[in-house]
Structure formats: C-alpha cells, structure tokens
Amino acid sequence: MSYEVLARKYRPTNFEEVVGQEHIVKALTNGIEQQRIHQAFIFSGTRGVGKTTLARILAKCLNCEKKDIPVTIPCDKCSNCEEIKSGRNIDFLEIDAASNTQVDKIRDLIETVEYKPAKGRYKVYLIDEVHMLSTQSFNALLKTLEEPPPHVIFIFATTNPEKIPKTVQSRCLQLNLKTVNEKLLSKHIQKILKKEKINFDDESTFMISSSAKGSVRDALTFLDQALAHGKGELKQDDVKKLLGTIDDSLLIDLIDGVVDGDGKKVFNTLYEIEQLSPEYDSILKDIIAMLHQISLEQVLENSNIDHIKEMATKVDNEFCQLLYEIAMNAYSKFNVHPNPKEALEICLLRMLTFNPLNKLSENSSNKPIKEKKNLKTNNLKEKKSDKTKLHSSDKPIASNEDWINFFNTKKMSPFARNYFGNMSFKDFDDGSMTLLVNSESSEIPENILSEFKAILKELFSKEVEVNFEVGTVIDSPLAVNDAENTKKYNKAKSSIKDDKDIKNFMKKFNGKIKEDTIKPIK
C-alpha cells in the first residue's frame, strides 16, 4: 500500500478539526444554523491555510443526508459525504481556474447551472485559484453570479483576491483566512505525532512551525521531510540541518560583535555559521527577527528570553533601529544579488561601518597601516600626549563649567551626547566622577557607558569610575548650549529687525522676514 502524506491523511473532515480559522468557522456554522446560506463565497488567504478544505466541508454540510436540512457537522458516512470526500460527487464540481482560463469553459459551466442537483440539495461549484480566470470569463459569470438558481452555491478560492474584479467581489461573501500562529501550529504538529506514535522534542516542532510561516500544509510537508531525514524520528539536530536554521547563541554573538564594532568577532562567528550550511537569506531573516525582539524588549520589557534582555540593555535604542533598517534594506535586495553569501557579508560590513560608536576591534585591519607611520610623527604624538596627560592630571574636571567645556570639546557619538548632555556635574574625587541625572532618565546602555569611559581614560591616562546620582539637573551641557544658541538667535533677530536699511527695504516692497531662516553668526 502506498504511503499517504500527512497533509492528506490529516486533512480536516469537519469544521471542528480546522486549525486557526475560528472566525471563518463561526460565520459558516451560524449561517447554516439560521438557514442564511449565501449564494456565493470567496475564500481568500495564503497557501495551505484551508481554503479548499473549508469549501469541501461546507459542501458536505449542505448536502449531508443525516437530516432533511443542512447541518453544521457532516456525518461522513452517507453517500454524498463519501463522494464529496473522494471527489466523485456529481453535484460538487471542483474546477481549477489555472488550467481552465478560457471563456468557453465558463460558458459550458453556466449551461449546467439550470439543472437541479441529482442527489443533494445544492449544486456546489468550487473554482480554485479563481483570480487566474480571464476578464471575459469573469464577465460571463456576472449575470449568473448575481441571480443564480436557488439550488446553486458558488465557492471561489484564491490566494490573490485583489485580482478578482470588484463587480465579482460585490456579489460574493468574502471570508479572509488568517495564517496560523506558530504556537497553535506547533501544538497541531505534536497532536499528529502522538497519533502516529513518533518520538519528538518540543524544539523540533517549534522550528518546523516557525519555518512554515503560518501554512498548515507547509508545516506537515516539512514534518514529512524531517521524519524521512531522521528515519522515522524527529530530532532537533536533524531538523536544524534540514531547515538550515542555526542556534540563537550564534546570532547573538553576531549582533554582539556588530554592537561592539568588533569586525573580527563578527566574521569569525559568520564562519562558524557557514559550517552548518545554512540558507543565507534565512540568517538575515533571523537577524531581523532578533532585532525586532530586542526593540520590543527595550520598550515593553515583555521578553522571557535572557539573551534578548541582555542585548536590549546593552545596545542603544536608536542604534538598534539603525541596524534593523540596514538589515531590512539588505533583505529587500537579497534576491537580485548574484551571491547570497556576499549579500549577507555586505550587510554586516554596513552595520560595522555605520556603527556611530566607532569601536572597532584592536585587531582591525587598519591598525597595521597606522603603525607604518614614520617615527617623527609618532614622537610628536607622544610628546603631545604627554603634554595632555600633564595638563589633564593638573586640572581635572572640578566644576560644572569644566564639565560643559569637556563635553563641548570631546568627540562623542550622537547617542552618547544625547545621554550625557542631559546630566550635570557633581564631583570628581580620586579617580571617580559623579554625575547628576533626572529621575526620568533611562538606564545608560553598556556600550554608551564604555565609550564614555574610554574618553575619560584617554584624557586622564587611567580608568575612571563613573557614578550616577538621581537629583535636580541644573545647567546640563545641552541645556546651556540651547540657551546660548537662543540668546544668539534673539540677538541676530533683533539686529535684523532694527536695521534701518532692512526696514526701508521691507516697507518699499511690502515684504516679510521668515524668522526660521535667521541664523546667528558663529
């Protein structure tokens, strides 16, 4: 006896067995119970979510011989149910629109509409992939679709409802099927595996449901492939090899290297990933998904995964969004790139290049170039450095004025400036700096704090401990700078408005000054 694939073996035979389409099932069963059965339906949705299955179940419910009226649960024992299930019922016509696009085929179908059903209550016409019909075919259907005989029901299944003419859509009851969520799909797979008495682990079923992207048929096809690969068992390692998925730990190492600006770590991790022979577009999709989880954790704090929580604390919110945009842009162009591996590598290089913290690894490729500079230049740098060290140690940051001067003269990333520019100075004592922060200030990400400490170390030639104290922030660098800029702007504005020549010019030509174009002289 030939093997029956799981997608066919476990195809739902009634509404109760349908997975993840409760809103559709409720609409159909309520209509049957109230005897309010529409003349034409459109079932739309992605592949493998149950469009054709629901159409066949509906046909069985309408023609089941269990009662004298349509039922919500077909008996699956009467001749009508058996014939519809096997595809040989004379009153249930299933047509593939992809191979019957010509108008002549539709005209032949319309000619049979007037004849009453041979055995059942209704003649049910199921047209699969209906959007493939030609314009002439749709036009031929319109009149019959608007006023069909009482014994006729049309069911249109499609993955692309936008291509169905509005004139046809307006004559039908459109029901949109949803993709099935991963958790529900994983439970469905586990239920089937238990019936089949097959050993499995939860991680394997979750990976399969995740790869199926909401399609029940795809999930069961993947399950068949995984069982063949694992000799009748479902093992995590076999499923990973089959689907080309990788451990989250490797992805975290990859993103961690990007955040630290450590190019060597990034490409060493990528080399480890390459040994698993994954699909490169899948890696990029996983990176995008992980960055999405990190972003949500930063705002909602809703993750239960430790490494997501750690990364959300470490990476700056704005930089995380920048990484997400780079990854999405790379994925949108992935299919046109001649080499998938190179496409992923370029994406990672862009992430490293646009890292605003500019924290490249000490083993960066441009280090040897710096070392090749002549001795005279190095000596000059050393003398200058010694002078700076002397000056720095003689005059540490002792007041808020010193703190503002330090902030304005030192080069920092935009992210570091946004955090530290809203703090004021409290004290500096024995290699420890204390800054005042507002109670509303968010926690400083690890990489931002590391950047600031590196700047202090360069200035004082030693590690400086940085402490934060909640208090009233007065005269923070950004506030002082804004006040100074406002003062300069007001001065420039007054100077322009009080200028006699400008006044005469404005009066002569009835002109106005656009205040947003006034710029103070720097």
DSSP 417-486: HHHHTT-EEEEEETTEEEEEE-TTPPPPPHHHHHHHHHHHHHHHSS--EEEEEES---S-HHHHHHHHHH
Over residues 32-51, the pLDDT tens digits come to 999 999 999 999 999 999 99
The angle at the Cα of 310, spanning 308 to 316, to the nearest 5 degrees, equals 95
Q: Is residue 381 scored above 60 in pLDDT? A: no
Helix (H), strand (E) counts: the chain: 24, 8
pLDDT band at 388; cut points 50, 70, 90: very low
CA 33/CA 316 separation, integer angstroms:
56
| CA atoms in the 13 A half-sphere facing the CB of 499 | 12
Q: Give the residue among 313, 458, 316 at the shortest CA–CA distance from 381.
A: 458
pLDDT for 158 beyond 90: yes
Highest mean pLDDT among 21-25, 384-388, 453-457: 21-25
Q: What is the overall mean pLDDT for the chain? A: 84
Please state, in angstroms and rounded to a whole number, the distance separating the CA atoms of residues 168 and 291.
42
pLDDT of residue 410: 85
Distances (CA, A) of 470 to 36, 299, 439: 66, 22, 6
> Could you give the dihedral angle defined by the CA atoms of residues 476, 449, 360 and 458, in that order, rounded to the nearest 10 degrees?
70
How does pLDDT run across 238-281, given as a tens digit for each residue? Answer: 887 777 667 678 888 899 999 888 888 999 999 888 887 778 88
Contact 511, 505 (CB under 8 A): yes
Task: List, in sequence order, every beta strand (DSSP E) within 129-181.
Answer: 152-158, 173-176
Banded model confidence at residue 394, pLDDT cuts 50, 70, 90: very low
- Give the residue, 498 or 475, on which the prediction is more confident: 475
* Contact between 73 and 15 (Cβ < 8 Å): yes
170 and 154 in contact (C-beta within 8 Å)?
no
Order of strands, sheet of 40-44, starting from the edge strand that comes earlier in the sequence? 92-96, 123-128, 152-158, 40-44, 173-176
d(CA 358, CA 261): 6
Identify the CA nearest to 352 among candidates 329, 328, 322, 332.
322
Q: 424 pairs with which residues across the strands?
A: 436
pLDDT of residue 369: 37
For residue 440, name the pLDDT band (cuts at 50, 70, 90).
low
Spatial distance between the Cα atoms of 26 and 158, rounded to a whole number of angstroms: 20
pLDDT value at position 55?
A: 94
For residue 490, what pLDDT is reported?
82
CB-side neighbour CA atoms (13 Å) of 484: 11
Tell me, yes or no, if the pTM score tops 0.85: no
pLDDT digits (tens, 9 = 90+) for 72-128: 999 999 999 999 988 889 999 998 887 877 788 888 888 899 999 998 899 999 999
331 in Cβ contact with 284 (< 8 Å): yes
Q: Can you tell me whether residue 369 is helix, strand or coil? A: helix
φ and ψ at 40, to 5 degrees? -150, 140
Enter the DSSP assignment of 336: G
Q: What is the CA radius of gyration of the chain?
A: 35
**pLDDT digit string, tens, across residues 478-493:** 888 888 888 888 887 7
Given this model, what pLDDT does residue 391 score?
Answer: 41
Say whether 364 sits in a helix, a strand or coil. Answer: coil
